[in-house]
């Protein structure tokens, strides 16, 4: 993002976590409340990134292992004559999906709780900051009118 910009910038989805990273703008006179908001957002972003990057990686890895083991059981190679990567069809993959979901359910429940907490906190802080900025703007206008 350009150096003179006064707003946050959001980027393309991350390759591993599929989440879009945000670069937060730090205004020169950032109030304590605004700093708390920014830090909360950064923390949530980092935590989400960690979770999903690890989770998606695990998914891909386990999927590869599953395909490999199934193909081996069938006596096939990973690549056929034309060099194309051999894949299993959806019905064969269904066992893997079921297994993966049940294995990770507890992890997801914990993550859900954390995510909801982050989300509510950030939104609430955003509300407070918005209110504070509105009051500040009104006060400034009043001062301009009086002068």
Partner 1 sequence: GLFVWRLRNAGVRQIPYRFVHLYHIANNRLITFQYFNFLKRMYVTQYNKDLSQQAKPKSNSIVSPFHELQRLDQEKKVVHKISPVSPVHQSWSEMSSRNELRDMKSAAETEDSVIPAGAGSKEDRQWKEMKLRLDDLPGILARLSKIKLTALVVSTASAGFAMAPVPFELTCFLLASLGTGLASCAANSINQFFEVPFDSNMNRTKNRPLVRGQISPLLAVCFAASCGVPGIALLTLGVNPLTGALGAFNIFLYTCCYTPLKRMSIANTWVGAVVGAIPPIMGWTAATGSLDAGALLLGGILYSWQFPHFNALSWGLREDYSRGGYCMMSVTHPGLCRRVALRHCLALIGLSTVAPVLNITTWTFPVISLPINLYISYLGFRFYRDADRSSSRKLFFCSLWHLPMLLLVMFTCKKSVLEKEDKGDLPGRSRERATEIRLP
Q: Which positions lie near partner 1, rule CB under 8 A?
A: 1-2, 4-5, 7-23, 48, 52-53, 55-57, 59-61, 63-65, 68, 85, 87, 90-91, 93-94, 96-98, 100-102, 104-105, 108-109, 111-112, 115-116, 119, 122-123, 126-127, 130
Closer to partner 1 by CB, 20 or 142: give it. Answer: 20
- Compute the least distance from the CB of residue 145 to partner 1, in Å: 26
Closer to partner 1 by CB, 54 or 140: give it. Answer: 54
- Compute the least distance from the CB of residue 147 to partner 1, in Å: 30
The b/e string for 58-67 (b: 16+ C-beta within 10 A; e otherwise) is eeeeebeebb
Asked if residues 27 and 34 have their Cβ atoms less than 8 Å apart, the reply is yes
Q: Which residues contact 127 (CB under 8 A, 6 or more apart)?
A: none
- Compute the least distance from the CB of residue 49 to partner 1, in Å: 9
Sign of the Cα pseudo-torsion (122, 124, 127, 129, in order): negative
Cα–Cα distance between 131 and 77 in angstroms, integer? 63
């Amino acid at each position: 993002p350009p150096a003179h910009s006064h707003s946050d910038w959001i980027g393309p989805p991350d390759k591993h976590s599929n989440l879009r990273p945000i670069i937060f703008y730090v205004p020169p006179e950032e109030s304590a409340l605004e700093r708390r908001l920014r830090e909360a957002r950064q923390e949530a972003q980092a935590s989400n990134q960690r979770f999903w990057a690890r989770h998606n990686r695990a998914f891909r890895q386990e999927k590869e292992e599953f395909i490999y083991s199934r193909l081996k059981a069938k006596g096939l190679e990973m690549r056929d004559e034309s060099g194309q990567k051999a894949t299993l069809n959806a019905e064969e993959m269904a066992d893997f999906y079921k297994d993966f979901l049940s294995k990770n359910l507890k992890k997801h429940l914990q993550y859900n709780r954390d995510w909801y907490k982050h989300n509510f906190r950030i939104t609430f802080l955003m509300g407070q900051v918005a209110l504070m900025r509105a009051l500040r703007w009104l006060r400034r206008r009043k001062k301009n009118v009086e002068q």
